[in-house]
Amino acid sequence: MLGIRTTKAYAEVKAGKLKLTRNGRRSFVKASEVNRYIAALDAASEKEAA
């Protein structure tokens, strides 16, 4: 959904930028978390452009 590789996603989780939800041994990223992450990326790129 994000269009990034698994290793990049785990790096973002480790950096605290993306939150995982665990269900037993499986890890998921909720759609609301994906939307929040994308909004944060957009805000950061707009801030850099200004």
pTM for the full model?
A: 0.78
Model pLDDT, residue 46? 86
Where residue 39 falls among pLDDT bands split at 50, 70, 90?
very high
Give pLDDT, residue 48: 84
| Residue among 21, 22, 25, 28 nearest 1 (CA) | 28
Average of pLDDT values for 22-40?
94
Rounded to a whole number of angstroms, the distance between the first and last alpha carbons of the chain is 28
Tokens for 16, please give them. 């605290």
Residue type, 12: E
* 25 phi, psi to nearest 5 deg: -90, -10
What's the one-letter identity of residue 29? V
pLDDT number for residue 3 = 87
